[in-house]
Amino acid sequence: APIYAPDLSHCGDATVPLKKSPNANVSVHCCPPISTNIIDFKPPAFTKIRKRQPAHLVTPDYVKKFQDAIMLMEALDDKDPRSFTQQAMIHCAYCNSAYEQMGFPSQDLQVHNSWLFFPFHRLYLYFFERILGKLVGDPQFALPFWNWDHPDGMTIPQIYVDQTSPLYDAKRNSDHQPPVVVDLDYSTDKNLPPDEQIQANLCTMNKQMVQGTTTKTLFHGKEYRMGYSPDPGAGTIENGVHISLHKWVGDPKQPMKEDMGNFYSAGYDPLFYAHHANVDRMWHLWKSSLPGKAHHDWMEIIAPNYAPICAPTLK
Ligand code: C2O
């Protein structure tokens, strides 16, 4: 059976391992406000597809709208579940053991390091994006994505580095500002010449998207079902470029590499959402348009293949 959504009335302090002594933890409070009026999600009537754009190619009008939307979100009361603070805290609550698994009080609920990674973050962004659109009165509003898989997108996008912009976050590594090229396979600074770093990045993309992900499990991460212990194992993208960029952006001078360098604080950096919009795009690319063949998620194999002759061809 699948992992259930947590019991929202049972939320404890989240645990954050300290950078210097990973066996010591600090507690952070990041439980969302509890509502007794929980509305089941129904997909809204389809009108027009929202189109996400690469963050390095957006127009000044778009940037203005995006900044306004973020400012409006920041201006909401901190207790409002749509506020920027509450949205950021979602990441902490679901990633740092604030919840236990429904029905299994001894198991923490964790949305990383398993096949929950892509779906959880897709929904997280979906609602974040809808709130922004609502606040700014544009139901078609879509987040930008940080196009780090393309040579033109391999620096922190310019719209996030203007210090007067609400998209700026001071808690980032000051040595990794543009024009420094990202390292998609980051652990420590390699200081490669830009061209070499770009080539290495393209190679990393190829390994994690094409060569190394011939099966669903390799791409999505391992199965995580009801009653399982957390963290069964991450897929190539989650464990690779995704984590690399969290570490590469986070500020090593902060006690816990805030903001991007720690799960509990990552959602406080507006760049987080552009990073994850590109992670989400990788899921789409892996399924639909890579060299070789199209891939399938699990849905297709869970559905019994009882009528092979009339089954529609799955893309
Ligand atoms: Cu929930 Cu980039 O991690």
Q: Is residue 285 part of a domain?
A: yes
E strand segments, the chain: 14-17, 25-28, 53-54, 100-101, 104-108, 144-145
**Atom number, ligand 1, closest to the C-alpha of residue 94:** 1
Q: Is residue 265 part of a domain?
A: yes
- C-alpha to C-alpha distance for 52 and 56, rounded to whole angstroms: 12
Residue type, position 306, single letter: Y
Where is 117: in which H helix or E strand?
helix 117-135
Among 151, 133, 169, 149, residue whose Cα is nearest residue 277: 149
User: Which residue has its alpha carbon closest to ligand 1 atom 3?
Assistant: 263
**Atom number, ligand 1, closest to the C-alpha of residue 272:** 2
Q: Is residue 203 part of a domain?
A: yes
Q: Is residue 262 part of a domain?
A: yes
Q: Is residue 303 part of a domain?
A: no
Q: Is residue 6 part of a domain?
A: no
pLDDT of residue 310: 38
pLDDT tens per residue across all 315 residues of the chain = 888 888 888 888 888 877 667 677 888 888 988 888 888 888 888 778 899 999 999 999 999 999 999 999 999 999 999 999 999 999 999 988 889 898 898 999 999 999 999 999 999 999 999 999 999 999 999 999 999 999 999 999 999 999 999 999 999 999 999 999 999 999 999 999 999 999 999 999 999 998 888 888 999 999 999 999 999 999 999 999 999 999 999 999 999 999 999 999 999 999 999 999 999 999 999 888 676 666 777 654 444 333 333 333 333
**Interface confidence: ipTM more than 0.90:** yes
Q: Is residue 9 part of a domain?
A: no
Q: Could you tell me the CATH number of the domain that includes residue 185?
A: 1.10.1280.10
Q: What is the CA radius of gyration of the chain?
A: 20
**Atom number, ligand 1, closest to the C-alpha of residue 95:** 1
The pair phi, psi for residue 14, each rounded to 5°, is -85, 155
pLDDT of residue 9: 86
Cα 289 to middle of ligand 1, angstroms: 24
Catalytic residues: 91, 112, 121, 242, 246, 263, 276
pLDDT of residue 299: 52
- C-alpha to C-alpha distance for 204 and 246, rounded to whole angstroms: 16
Give the residues surrounding ligand 1 with Cβ less than 6 Å away: 91, 95, 112, 121, 242, 246, 263, 266, 276
Q: Is residue 308 part of a domain?
A: no
Range of the domain at 150: 60-296
Cα 261 to middle of ligand 1, angstroms: 10
- From residue 299, alpha-carbon distances to 2, 146, 216 in Å are 12, 28, 11
Cα 263 to middle of ligand 1, angstroms: 6
**Based on the structure, what is the number of domains in the chain?**
1
Cα 307 to middle of ligand 1, angstroms: 39
